[in-house]
């Protein structure tokens, strides 16, 4: 995990999400919960009263998230899993469902935008894994599935993504948006399916880029004048996931400080 310079503030406030209407004791599965946006989402979910199945390929990182949730008085289980591995995902669902009814899912894990594996390998990891995790979830929970949120990106959906990323990334993120819309229309709203498109968000993955002067200069074109905090993504994800968003289905919500409209 990369460490940021001490003068870079990496986190915003973690808001209490209890007013969003979740039923205490129900469980959300968050993939990639060991770092960045996934970790902030797992912690925010815990403030809402949900139990958290914290999935990550990095089991130690998932365990730290689960321990932090326990420290907040919440319930969480760390699960080590590669979301692109069908047998591993099946075992992870067994473990998650043992924690409690799991009507909520956040598909957040995926390879970084500069990953140099072959195009189709990364499409499988970034896009195929979202379908894999979701279809196994739907097969297990059926119409008790309330809602899911998928992590897309401004890349692919509102912009090309620039010169430093690999081709699979915008392709996968556009695919995730299309798959989200498919889910939103396929199952009569059980589950509702929505996506968020983060702009530049400060996470262990992106902080090293943000310290590059050219990218820092680019960030100044964001109307709110700074990159986003993972907690700001988490708040939007939790809202879309929640009963408070019961009539929102099939949207792609940019959470980017106005970057794509500037």
Q: Give me the active site residues, please.
A: 169
Q: Is the peptide bond before 191 cis (omega within 30 degrees of 0)?
A: yes
Among 53, 69, 77, 84, binds ligand NAD (CB under 6 A): 84
Among 82, 101, 115, 131, binds ligand NAD (CB under 6 A): 82
CB of 235 to ligand NAD, least distance (A): 14
Binding mask 210-239 for ligand NAD (x = CB under 6 A): ------------------------------
CA distances from 224 to 14, 41, 83, 208, 216 (A): 19, 22, 34, 21, 14
Nearer to ligand NAD, 109 or 184 (CB): 109
**Residue 123 binds ligand NAD, judged by CB under 6 A:** no
Which residues ranging from 152 to 191 are in contact with ligand NAD (CB under 6 A)? Answer: 153
CB of 9 to ligand NAD, least distance (A): 15
Q: Are 233 and 204 contacting, i.e. CB atoms less than 8 angstroms apart? A: no
- DSSP string spanning 81-136? --TT-HHHHHHHHHHHHHHS---EEEE-----TT--S-HHHHHIIIIIHHHHHHHH
Count of Cβ atoms closer than 10 Å to residue 54 Cβ: 34
**Residue 194 binds ligand NAD, judged by CB under 6 A:** no
Q: Are 32 and 56 contacting, i.e. CB atoms less than 8 angstroms apart? A: yes
Among 22, 29, 38, 77, binds ligand NAD (CB under 6 A): 38
Q: Are 82 and 88 contacting, i.e. CB atoms less than 8 angstroms apart? A: yes
Size of the site for ligand NAD (CB under 6 A): 29
**Residue 56 binds ligand NAD, judged by CB under 6 A:** yes
Among 204, 244, 248, 250, binds ligand NAD (CB under 6 A): 204
**Residue 37 binds ligand NAD, judged by CB under 6 A:** yes
Name the residues that contact ligand NAD, by CB under 6 A. Answer: 31-32, 34-38, 56-58, 61, 81-84, 108-111, 125, 151, 153, 198, 200-201, 203-206
């Amino acid at each position: 995990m990369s460490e940021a310079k001490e003068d870079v503030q990496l986190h915003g406030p973690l808001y209490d999400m209890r007013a969003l209407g979740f039923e205490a004791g129900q469980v959300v599965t968050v993939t990639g919960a060991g770092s960045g946006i996934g970790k902030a989402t797992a912690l925010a979910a815990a403030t809402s009263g949900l139990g958290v199945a914290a999935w990550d390929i990095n089991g130690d990182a998932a365990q730290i998230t689960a321990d932090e949730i326990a420290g907040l008085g919440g319930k969480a289980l760390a699960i080590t899993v590669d979301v692109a591995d069908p047998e591993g995902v099946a075992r992870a669902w067994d473990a998650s469902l043992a924690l409690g009814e799991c009507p909520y899912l956040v598909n957040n894990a995926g390879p970084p935008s500069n990953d140099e594996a072959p195009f189709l390998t990364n499409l499988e990891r970034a896009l195929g894994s979202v379908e894999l995790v979701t279809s196994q979830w739907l097969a297990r929970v059926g119409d008790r599935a309330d809602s899911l949120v998928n992590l897309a990106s401004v890349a692919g959906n509102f912009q090309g993504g620039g010169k430093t990323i690999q081709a699979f990334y915008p392709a996968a993120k556009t695919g995730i948006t299309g798959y989200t819309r498919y889910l939103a229309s396929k199952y009569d709203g059980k589950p509702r399916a929505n996506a968020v498109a983060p702009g530049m968000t400060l996470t262990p993955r992106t902080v090293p880029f943000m310290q590059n002067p050219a990218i820092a200069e680019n960030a100044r074109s964001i109307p709110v004048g700074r990159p986003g905090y993972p907690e700001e993504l988490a708040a939007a994800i939790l809202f879309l996931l929640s009963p408070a968003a019961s009539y929102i289905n099939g949207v792609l919500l940019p959470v980017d400080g106005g970057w794509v409209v500037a």
